[in-house]
Copies of this chain bind each other. A is one copy, B any other.
Amino acid sequence: MQEGLIPNVSVDCVVFGFDFTHLNVLLNERNIEMDGIAFADMKLPGDLMRLDEDLDASAARILRENTGLSNIYLKQFKSFGSPDRLKKHIRDMEWLRKIDHPEEHVITIAYYSLIDISEKRNSELIMNDNARWIPVHEIKDLVMDHFEIITCAYEYLRIELLNKPIGFELLPDKFTLSQMQKLYEVILGTTFDKRNFRKKISSMKYLIPLNEKQVGVAHKPARLYVFSRELYAKTKKDNFDFSV
């Protein structure tokens, strides 16, 4: 094992990105050889913590080293510590031996993040060769317990979405109400009647219409909106209410 690493603690990052069609997760390709046959599977960006690191700093470094992404919001959401989490597949154990990673009980602290990967910003992201956005519904067999970690992060995301205006983190600064509806539909796995959806969001006073419309679209350009963090902070305070 490389010096300066903590043998029993790792960090894994679940980064969600929305492209107006799918909710995606950023994964790293892992290339392994089993019985002389090379094949690739996918894993979350993750690694062991360093002895001199704080948890949040560790998550930022590990995401940067594995994907090229930096300066994005990362939030710790849960730690996973089943004693057999590294021992589910023979290929995982062979791989761990090969990269000189401890095979004993490693507890992983999982972070989650939401970013906008609509066309413009996505092209600006500098990504490592083996990092890819994979649609959530296409993710199946990942290494170790990474599928379970993503399932848990997705559950956390749904709950957050129902209670806080975090969906806006996945949209560009200016967006249409149809794009916003699509985001809620994709994440919640449902469809909304357009009129009902507009009614639901009409109480969101922090959703500001602009005197600006979409450009370069084939259909009739729709009005653009922004999310006002300032107004939301104010609204929240006004509506102090603990009934659930």
A residues in contact (CB < 8 Å) with B:
6-9, 49, 51-55, 58, 76, 78-83, 104-105, 107, 109, 161-165, 184, 188, 200-201, 203-204, 236, 241-244
Contact = CB atoms under 8 A, between A and B. Distances in A.
A228 B52 CA distance: 48
Given A55-B79, A78-B76, A104-B51, A200 B241 contact: yes
Given A52-B83, A76-B79, 18 more contacts: A6-B107, A7-B7, A9-B9, A49-B81, A49-B107, A51-B83, A51-B104, A52-B105, A53-B81, A54-B81, A54-B82, A55-B82, A107-B107, A162-B241, A162-B242, A164-B244, A184-B242, A200-B243
A66 to B, nearest CB: 19
A191 B125 CA distance: 50
A184 B109 CA distance: 32
Q: From A6, A76, A161, name the one whose CB has the most chain B CB atoms within 10 angstroms.
A: A6
A47 to B, nearest CB: 14
